[in-house]
Amino acid sequence: MATSQLHEDYSREEEVKAGTDRGFGLVFAGFFAILAVLSLWHGSKNWHYTLPVAAAFLLVALVYPRVLAPLNRLWLKFGLLLYKVMNPLVLGLLFFVTIMPIGLVMRAFGKDFLRLKRDPDAKSYWIDRTPPGPPPQSMKNQF
């Protein structure tokens, strides 16, 4: 059971495996290379700064990727922090912007798609299926 008042308990231990240092360097080299190309394409002078950074990341990633280990760990910790902050925010926003308004509109129009309204006069809440489902023999040895 969760020890806090939050829906998600962050006290559990999850092993998150970081990517390789070489992969980290290649991804950042590609990112800065794309920034350089876009800057050059739009006529900006920023490509003079981003292209050498891309080349440096590429060179270090191919020659001696162990140098990138501290940056890789820092990037992983930043990603985990973003996960812990943004995950509840995005899911809450999704709920309050999409699901809750749909539920309020359905309630305003009296819709009950799940048939959750209680009927005290009902003998049973069993719903007969028409047409009837598959024969009971088809439910044996399903696998």
Kindly report, residue by residue over 35-71, the tens digit of the pLDDT. 999 988 988 887 888 899 999 999 999 999 999 999 9
Q: Is pLDDT of 6 > 70?
A: no
Residue that wins the pLDDT comparison between 75 and 42: 75
Q: What pLDDT shows up at residue 4? A: 60
Domain ranges of the chain: 21-83
Neighbouring residues of 71: CB distance < 8 A, sequence distance ≥ 6: 24
**Apex CA 65: angle with CA 59 and CA 54, to 5°?**
35
Q: What pLDDT shows up at residue 143? A: 76
Contact 66, 19 (CB under 8 A): no
Band (pLDDT 50/70/90 cuts) for residue 33 is very high
Q: What pLDDT shows up at residue 114? A: 86
Q: What pLDDT shows up at residue 63? A: 95
Q: What pLDDT shows up at residue 140? A: 85
Mean pLDDT of 13-32: 89
Kindly report, residue by residue over 82-141, the tens digit of the pLDDT. 988 999 999 999 999 999 999 999 999 999 888 888 888 988 888 888 888 888 888 888
Pull the structure tokens for residue 3. Answer: 């020890």
Q: What pLDDT shows up at residue 5? A: 66
What are the counts of helices (DSSP H) followed by strands (DSSP E) for the chain?
A: 4, 0
Q: What pLDDT shows up at residue 119? A: 87
